A and B are shown apart, each in its own frame.
Chain A
């Protein structure tokens, strides 16, 4: 029995401090991204999440350059970008246009420059990998309080705007007529999204962050139509994939190629994908609603997939 346990949980797993931090941070971020992610899926605004992921690369690499922790870069960069998106009005589905894509391209180019300068000026390689693909193991204990604080802010914001956001997602007009400041609610949501993507970025990297933001949430939305249940399910899926991913990554130090270990972000992302595919089996059993006109990006009923 102990041999099998040791095979699954490699020796030292439970006593490693890096694993403790990773598990804790991973779980916390999974909860936060589930809350924000469910709304992102329902509102059909996955594009905004992806864009913030790209911009996060610029912010994070810039932070590296000035020898500040990347988390600061993610947060500051994302919040500014979210503010700009709000002002230009990218909340509307039409936001996915040429101009946005081109601006994102420029910001990615800028990230390339920052990363290059970091490599030469500080002779640290690996900045690119850390920013883009991240590693939950790389989070130091000094960053944990900041992560906890940011998570608390996101959760508090989402709690505060929960009902008006839900209402304005289902029906913009109904919400306005009830006196809800739909614009302010939307702006606060974007703010929460900015922080959530920053947290996802520090956990599994900017390029992969959309998987954490959208994956468990989309899976949950497939399984249940009730928002609260979806959030809880998404959080559970996120935590599960995080923890299993951490275990696998820790174990992989024993796997070929020797001693390197496989990137934990790879495991997490793959597990999220598998979870989504598996949910398709369950979703099929439920009575299918009648096919309506296909919409690409409308922020319509809570049942919509993004």
Chain B
């Protein structure tokens, strides 16, 4: 399990987990469920198109993810995620299906783009993934404080000169970047559950923001490692294990909280 091409898989998957944990932390904090769902949808077409013309999947994903992020950010400036955006994203999915239907392996390609593919990670994808991942982490590190302030108390942020719009756009671009590099491993349909499940579980175990972010990374790593190992052994798809493990982590977190509340009953009314 740990030799040969699997080394690539472990490396890339670990980078993916770290980025998903960090970016997901802010996604959950900002309640950006729509964007986290929508951007991967859009990038599906990009990946499909890239595979059709023989270009790098990462390139196709990148172009469509970032454009999608920009589009969502600019359109939602009006204050609503309207029907046009939702329909546009469905069109992207249909477009992806169209592109794939023109290629030789329609069904398997659809499947691996949607649900993830571990074994297909080539060695020449490790470096770009690492670079993109590094960029994401760097961006989050730089934006950490103002992004957090703007997410939690947007009015106070604005009073200190932090434009909520600029923060939203920056965050969406980071989310687009993160989507680009995480989708090949986990698939467009399931990247959402990794990005949301790990941080949502992490919040059950700590009250501190930075610790919560670190825990989010740790949980994401556990989920991804488990998924890869299980997929390798059983041949079942990685996405299945990611989806169920994310849900399980969240459930464990909730149970932990409930049990802690029962122990501290009477100390502080909620």
Contacts and interface: CB of A to CB of B under 8 A. Distances in A.
A109 B84 contact: no
Interface stretch (A122-130, A136-144, A167-175, A230-238): A122-130
A101 interface: yes
Contact of A266 (B98, B190, B240): B98
Interface stretch (B12-20, B106-114, B122-130, B164-172): B106-114
Contacts of A126: 106-107
Contact of B196 (A41, A98, A266, A276): A98
Interface in A243-298: 257, 260, 262-263, 265-266, 269-270, 272-273, 276-277, 280, 294, 296
A162 interface: no
Nearest to A211: B90
Contacts of B193: 101-102, 104-106, 108-109
Interface stretch (B64-72, B207-215, B241-249): B241-249
Chain B interface mostly: helix
B218 interface: no
A114 B197 CA distance: 22
A202 interface: no
A306 interface: yes
Contacts of B242: 109
B87 A214 contact: yes
A266 B94 contact: yes
B83 A266 contact: no
Contacts of A214: 83, 86-87
A269 B243 contact: no
A128 B247 contact: no
A65 interface: no
Interface string A92-127: 000010110111111111101101100100000111
Interface residues of B, number: 48
Given A133-B97, A210-B90, A265-B97, A101 B196 contact: yes
Interface in B70-90: 79-84, 86-88, 90
A272 B33 CA distance: 25
B237 interface: yes
A106 B248 CA distance: 9
A294 B80 contact: yes
Interface string A208-247: 1011001100100000000000000000000000000000
Interface in B87-122: 87-88, 90-91, 93-95, 97-98, 101-102, 106-108, 110-111, 114-115
A218 B108 CA distance: 34
B10 interface: no
B86 A210 contact: yes
A112 B237 contact: yes
* A-B complex: 5 closest residue pairs judged by Cβ atoms: A109-B243, A105-B193, A106-B247, A294-B79, A113-B240
Interface of A: 41, 46, 96, 98-99, 101-110, 112-113, 115-116, 119, 125-129, 132-133, 207-208, 210-211, 214-215, 218, 257, 260, 262-263, 265-266, 269-270, 272-273, 276-277, 280, 294, 296, 305-306
Interface of B: 28, 33, 37, 79-84, 86-88, 90-91, 93-95, 97-98, 101-102, 106-108, 110-111, 114-115, 187, 189-190, 192-193, 196-197, 200, 235-237, 239-244, 246-247, 250
7 contacts: A46-B86, A96-B33, A98-B33, A106-B243, A108-B189, A112-B240, A273-B90
